[in-house]
């Protein structure tokens, strides 16, 4: 999106991170999951304590997409032991790219994705990988369009509901 910028998230931004994280996760998944499971997930994964730990982790990075001073999306990357599964030193995990619905279709996700690839190349990663819920057709289409291929599946637990994620990767080298 024109005039938007990408900026690294710091501890000073934790309130904004918590707000956009909860908002975008709810917008994306609340229609397909129980209120109880959503509340449990949001409380666990977007608590101030959890986000503080993630922001202090040297092997994770968050970035905001910003337009006119407002946060319009965010990205979370994991490296090395901080990756949720593979923990490959030559890989980067895109754990989250989320954009509020009002900015869907405006290339904000693409801008965040391009930042992820830039960081992965700076870190000399061989590949980038991620997990996408098998029911999230919009995200599956986005990553397929960007050259990712499915290579495995894993279970992602939302609240008390085990769900299947498609694991996808993009070779950089």
For residues 44 and 50, is the Cβ–Cβ distance under 8 A? yes
d(CA 29, CA 22): 11
Candidates 41, 74, 113, 143; catalytic one: 143
SS3 category, 163: strand
How many CB atoms sit inside 10 A of residue 56's CB? 9
Kindly report the CA angle at 26 between 25 and 29, in degrees rounded to 5?
A: 80
SS3 114: helix
Cβ-based neighbour number of residue 80 at 10 Å: 16
- For residue 156, the cross-strand partners are 163
Cβ pair 37, 62 in contact under 8 A: no
Distance between CA atoms of 152 and 27, rounded to whole angstroms?
26
Q: Is 98 among the catalytic positions?
A: no
Would you name the residues annotated as active-site residues? 143
């Amino acid at each position: 999106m024109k005039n938007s910028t990408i900026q690294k998230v710091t501890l000073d931004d934790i309130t904004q991170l918590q707000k956009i994280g909860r908002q975008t996760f709810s917008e994306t998944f609340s229609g397909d999951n129980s209120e109880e499971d959503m509340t449990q997930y949001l409380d666990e994964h977007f608590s101030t304590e959890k986000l503080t730990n993630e922001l202090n982790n040297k092997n994770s990075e968050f970035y905001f997409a910003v337009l006119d001073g407002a946060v319009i999306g965010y990205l979370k990357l994991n490296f090395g032991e901080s990756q949720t599964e593979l923990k490959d030193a030559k890989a980067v995990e895109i754990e989250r790219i989320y954009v509020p619905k009002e900015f869907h279709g405006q290339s904000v996700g693409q801008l965040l994705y391009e930042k992820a690839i830039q960081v992965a190349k700076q870190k000399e990663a061989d590949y980038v990988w991620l997990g996408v819920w098998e029911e999230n057709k919009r995200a599956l289409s986005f990553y397929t369009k960007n050259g990712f291929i499915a290579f495995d599946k894993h279970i992602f637990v939302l609240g008390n509901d085990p769900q299947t994620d498609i694991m996808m990767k993009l070779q950089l080298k």
